[in-house]
């Protein structure tokens, strides 16, 4: 399906979404509050985005944006969803019940960025130790011993 | 013709002529103990080296080749290393059972040596229930393994021991039944009688297809009983690290290791005795000239040749097959081997009664 | 120190009534690397698997934020070290996408040849290691015999056997070794002759088939939902070969089939990988005599500066889809890099696949997932 069709779909289900087509794929900016319902729609609707191939987070210092790369195994179209969350108390609804792969990816983002995924079945640190302090992929993270500055 | 029988008879006569009968018996016992221990040490070294060389050959590599000519002293060096290692006992282990277990396994292996005829007239104890003795004693080794697995206080060990228990108890049955078919044919439980009954041909060739079937079942069952691959679930390296002997180190580990090889030797010796005529040379019916030439080869060489052929067979299995899963292992025994060997035993009995064998 | 009763009562160590908790890893013969699985058993049956990651986490993503666009490519060799060429390729690709560098035709062919050789080498190692998980030691040596030839080829051209660092933005670092073509042809010949040995030893072995068939079943829907890619997903019938659906380099001009199996069990995944090796050989045969003459590297600036924006490139490694996501602010170093590693998503499906099966089945399932731990931890 073309980007125009996907855009047309978004205007019906999420009128607040904004688009950015400068990159390779269509970028859609969504509100974190409405994301869960929208995700459910994207998965089950005619667009059939059944494959979440990348879930990550970017620290823009003023806010975090959680980035979802979605694709469809039937139509082979790809979109990028971005949701901005607050730095002080980053929270967003989990999508782990919609795309199972999100369970691990969200744990990783929680571990390295400290973004809390609400209603996640098992939100614990995945990679770092349980008593680790701080979130290493944040831009303000400092580790005087182990970090190499070039 | 070289014969061990002459040497043993000469020694016995000399002892009985020089000392009174009770002292002669004591000296004989000492000689047997010395020989048995020596045999154990040598067998351990030879079989481990053989295993490594066979494995290397199958796996397109060279195997040990640095210590001594062709790597011959590699296992000696390994043994020295094991002797010098510290034998650790885990803190929370049951110390008494933990230390006892390797000796139980080893003693069982030693006891099994008694009825084996190594050559014509060269046998420690030719008891009249030899086959029964072997089946009875060989099932005792599971106690040692369970002891080791339980006393180590290690979960891998416990799982390994439990698997081993289930496995040995099941495979005893079909091993016993396949041995029985030879007992039925030869009409005796005494190993020397069984060997004598194969003078004009080995049972494997004389007994038609049923004996071949019981030979195959015997080999499968003893591979399982000695915990060798593809039935090495008790050790299952990739699943249970080292199974029941995970916590053992140093000489105690070496005893388990040695007992495994001694057990292989013993079951192969039993197999060679029952199915391949023990020390009996290859005789074919009425071919007098051929039989006569065969008699020139010493009986000890016949015995060792057959035994080592079977050992090679078991090693070949190990380096070719993947491991079975625990439920597949038990299915194989209870659903296939056991019914087949029971039916087979009936066939053999019919053959024996009607005298259809050669 | 604990007393015996305290340990017995600790349910995180021993599980609750009727359960046994065992640790597979971080040091364990079945985990090729430092994966740590905490497994709750009921007898021999698996009730729960909990992966504990991070034993080899180096925070490569953070590290790359302070490395230049030429440097960061080489760190990716240390992730999935068995597909290091393809990882390098994916990273170089992403930079090329951002810089809009046109790659010479010779470099493209060399890149594809190297990728396919890497894929075969990786699958060879997997074959040996997986057979070892099932208790058969011998296939390992047979597989390594062929893998050794590939390593020798790599050594001559790239100077390394494992972490090749051969790809640079704009092409490859050096031209191929003069013996390259002849050695690759010798390898192809030997592979075709000897591959029947794998079939005799492994594929047609009845014990092996019984251990693999119907074990660790992953349905097509679950494979997509868990984000599985590569042979794991293709064993479940999901068409996901990036080389076919989003062709890069010259994959759209060579003839090869996407290998698909529908059973979704361990044996299907096994067959996918074995058949993929044949497809890679097919690609190599088509290209080895047709390496175009010319430059092996495009002219690029000494210091690369990606324009402001986001770039994502996807390549098919031996384990599945490898994605590189670069967020650039126009500086000489990336603002943020995310590596989407195939092993991470494949591992997340492990519990779903192995739950309720026997402990021995876990080894078959884990073996056919082909996990490389540095790839998962990053």
Token pair for B200? 């004009």
Contacts 24+ apart (CB under 8 A), B160-163: B160/B233, B160/B234, B160/B235, B160/B236, B160/B240, B160/B242, B160/B243, B160/B244, B160/B246, B161/B234, B161/B243, B161/B244, B163/B233, B163/B234, B163/B236, B163/B243, B163/B326
Question: Which candidate in C338, C355, C369 is best for mutational testing of the A interface (most A CBs within 10 A)?
Answer: C338
Is B touching A (3+ C-beta pairs, cut-off 8 A)? no
Model confidence pLDDT, tens digit, residues A79-135: 888 888 888 888 888 888 888 888 888 888 888 888 888 888 888 888 888 888 888
Q: Which chains contact A through at least 3 pairs of Cβ atoms less than 8 Å apart?
A: C
CB-based contact C227 A100, cutoff 8 Å? yes
* Contact residues, chain B, for C29 at CB < 8 Å: 237-238, 241
pLDDT over 70 (residue B341) = yes
pLDDT over 50 (residue B76) = yes
Q: How many CA atoms lie within 13 A of B87 on its CB side?
A: 13
CB-based contact A24 C97, cutoff 8 Å? yes
Domain count within chain A: 1
How much is the pTM? Answer: 0.85
Report yes or no on A95 lying in a domain: no
Chain A: residue whose CA lies nearest to C220: A73
Q: Which chains contact C through at least 3 pairs of Cβ atoms less than 8 Å apart?
A: A, B
Domain with residue A40: its CATH number is 3.30.460.80
Model confidence pLDDT, tens digit, residues B91-108: 777 888 888 888 888 888
Which among C22, C141, C205 has the least Cβ separation from residue B60?
C141
For A30-53, what is the mean pLDDT?
82
Other Cβ atoms within 10 Å of C178 Cβ, number:
10
Q: Is C190 on the interface with B (CB under 8 A)?
A: no
User: Shortest CA distance to C283 belongs to which of C249, C257, C302?
Assistant: C257
Model confidence pLDDT, tens digit, residues C79-91: 888 888 899 988 8
- pLDDT given at position C204: 87
Chain C: residue whose CA lies nearest to B154: C22
- pLDDT given at position C1: 46
CB-based contact A54 C340, cutoff 8 Å? yes
Distance CA(B282)–CA(B279), nearest Å, equals 9
Sheet order of strands, C336-340 included: C309-316, C321-328, C336-340
- pLDDT given at position B358: 64
pLDDT over 70 (residue B331) = yes
Which among C57, C228, C245 has the least Cβ separation from residue A127?
C57
Q: Is B56 on the interface with C (CB under 8 A)?
A: no
Report yes or no on A120 lying in a domain: no
Interface of B with C in 204-223 (CB under 8 A): none
Q: Which chains contact B through at least 3 pairs of Cβ atoms less than 8 Å apart?
A: C
**Which residues 6+ apart lie within 8 Å of A73 measured at CB?**
A48, A50, A51, C224, C238, C239, C240
Q: Answer for the pair C342, C336: CB distance below 8 angstroms, yes or no.
A: no
Least confident range from B103-112, B115-124, C45-54, C337-346: namely: B115-124
For strands A91-93 and A116-118, give the pairing: parallel
Rounded to a whole number of angstroms, the distance from the CA of A2 to the nearest CA of chain C is 16
Distance CA(A95)–CA(B8), nearest Å, equals 84
User: Shortest CA distance to B116 belongs to which of B36, B51, B173?
Assistant: B36
What pLDDT band is residue C4 in, cutting at 50, 70 and 90? low
Q: Is C40 on the interface with B (CB under 8 A)?
A: no
List, in order of start, the domains of chain C with CATH numbers.
4-52 (no CATH), 60-215+290-377 (1.10.645.10)
Show the domain range for A80.
3-86
For B269-287, what is the mean pLDDT?
81
């Amino acid at each position: 399906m073309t980007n125009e069709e996907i855009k047309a779909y978004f205007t019906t289900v999420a009128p607040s979404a904004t688009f950015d087509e400068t990159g390779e794929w269509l970028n859609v900016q969504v509100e974190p509050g409405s994301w869960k319902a929208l995700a459910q729609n994207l998965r089950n609707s005619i667009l059939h985005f059944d494959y979440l191939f990348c879930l990550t987070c970017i620290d823009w210092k003023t806010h975090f944006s959680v980035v979802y790369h979605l694709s469809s195994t039937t139509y082979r179209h790809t979109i990028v969803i971005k949701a901005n969350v607050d730095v002080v108390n980053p929270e967003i609804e989990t999508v782990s019940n919609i795309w199972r792969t999100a369970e691990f990816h969200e744990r990783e983002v929680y571990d390295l960025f400290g973004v809390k995924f609400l209603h996640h079945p098992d939100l614990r640190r995945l990679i770092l130790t349980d008593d680790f302090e701080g979130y290493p992929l944040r831009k303000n993270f400092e580790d005087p011993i182990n970090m190499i500055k070039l | 013709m070289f014969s061990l029988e002459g040497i043993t008879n000469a020694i016995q006569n000399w002892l009985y002529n020089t000392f009174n009968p009770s002292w002669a018996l004591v000296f004989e016992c000492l000689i047997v103990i010395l020989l048995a221990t020596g045999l154990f040490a040598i067998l351990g070294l030879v079989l481990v080296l053989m295993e490594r060389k066979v494995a290397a050959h199958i796996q397109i590599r060279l195997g040990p080749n640095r210590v001594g000519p062709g790597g011959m002293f590699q296992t000696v060096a390994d043994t020295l290393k094991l002797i010098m290692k510290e034998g650790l006992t885990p803190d929370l282990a049951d110390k008494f059972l933990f230390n006892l277990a390797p000796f139980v396994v080893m003693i069982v292996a030693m006891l099994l040596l008694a009825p084996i005829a190594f050559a014509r007239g060269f046998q420690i104890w030719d008891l009249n229930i030899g086959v029964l003795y072997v089946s009875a004693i060989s099932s005792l080794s599971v106690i040692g393994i369970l002891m080791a697995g339980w006393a180590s206080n290690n979960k891998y060990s416990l799982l390994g021991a439990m698997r081993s228990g289930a496995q040995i108890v099941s495979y005893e049955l079909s091993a016993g039944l396949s041995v029985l078919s030879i007992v039925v044919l030869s009409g005796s439980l005494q190993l020397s009688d069984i060997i004598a009954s194969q003078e004009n041909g080995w049972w494997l060739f004389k007994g038609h297809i049923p004996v071949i079937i019981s030979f195959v079942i015997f080999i499968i069952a003893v591979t399982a009983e000695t915990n060798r691959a593809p039935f090495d679930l008790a050790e299952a390296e990739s699943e249970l690290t080292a199974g029941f002997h995970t916590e053992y180190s140093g000489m105690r580990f070496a005893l388990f290791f040695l007992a495994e090889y001694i057990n292989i030797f013993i079951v192969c010796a039993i197999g060679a005795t029952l199915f391949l005529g023990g020390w009996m040379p290859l005789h074919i019916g009425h071919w007098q000239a051929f039989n006569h030439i065969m008699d020139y080869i010493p009986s000890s060489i016949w015995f060792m040749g057959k035994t080592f052929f079977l050992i090679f067979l078991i090693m070949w299995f190990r380096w070719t097959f993947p491991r079975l899963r625990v439920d597949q292992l038990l299915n194989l025994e209870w659903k296939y081997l056991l019914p087949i060997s029971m039916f087979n035993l009936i066939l053999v009995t019919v053959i024996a009664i009607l005298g259809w064998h050669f | 120190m604990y007393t015996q009763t305290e340990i017995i009562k600790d349910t995180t160590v021993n599980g609750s009534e009727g359960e046994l908790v065992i640790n597979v890893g971080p040091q364990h013969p079945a985990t090729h690397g430092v994966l740590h699985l905490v497994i709750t058993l009921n007898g021999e049956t698996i009730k729960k698997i909990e992966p504990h990651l991070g034993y080899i986490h180096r925070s490569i993503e953070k590290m790359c934020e302070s490395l230049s666009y030429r440097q960061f490519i080489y760190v990716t060799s240390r992730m999935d070290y068995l597909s290091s060429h393809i990882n390098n390729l994916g990273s170089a690709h992403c930079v090329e996408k951002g810089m809009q560098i046109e790659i010479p035709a010779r470099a493209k062919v060399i890149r594809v040849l190297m990728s396919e050789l890497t894929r075969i080498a990786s699958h060879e190692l997997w074959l040996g290691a997986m057979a070892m998980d099932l208790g058969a030691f011998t296939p390992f040596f047979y597989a390594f015999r062929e893998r050794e030839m590939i390593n020798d080829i790599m050594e001559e051209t790239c100077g390394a056997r494992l972490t090749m660092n051969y790809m640079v933005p704009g092409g490859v670092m050096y031209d191929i070794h003069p013996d390259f073509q002849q050695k690759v042809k010798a390898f192809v010949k030997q592979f075709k002759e000897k591959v029947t040995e794998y079939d005799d030893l492994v594929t047609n072995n009845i014990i092996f088939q019984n251990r693999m068939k119907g074990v660790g079943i992953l349905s097509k829907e679950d494979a997509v939902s868990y984000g599985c890619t590569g042979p794991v997903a293709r064993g479940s019938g999901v068409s996901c070969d990036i080389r076919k659906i989003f062709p890069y380099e010259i994959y759209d001009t060579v003839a090869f089939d996407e290998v698909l199996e529908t059973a979704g069990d361990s044996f299907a995944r096994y067959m996918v990988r074995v058949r993929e090796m044949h497809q890679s050989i097919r690609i190599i045969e088509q290209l080895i005599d047709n390496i175009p003459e010319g430059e092996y590297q495009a002219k690029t600036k000494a210091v690369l500066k990606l324009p402001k924006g986001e770039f994502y490139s996807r390549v098919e490694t031996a384990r599945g889809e490898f994605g590189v996501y670069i967020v650039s602010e126009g500086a000489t170093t990336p603002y943020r890099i995310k590596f989407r590693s195939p092993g991470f998503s494949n591992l997340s499906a492990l519990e779903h696949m192995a739950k309720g099966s026997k402990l021995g089945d876990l080894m078959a399932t884990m073996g056919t997932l082909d996990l490389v731990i540095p790839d998962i931890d990053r």
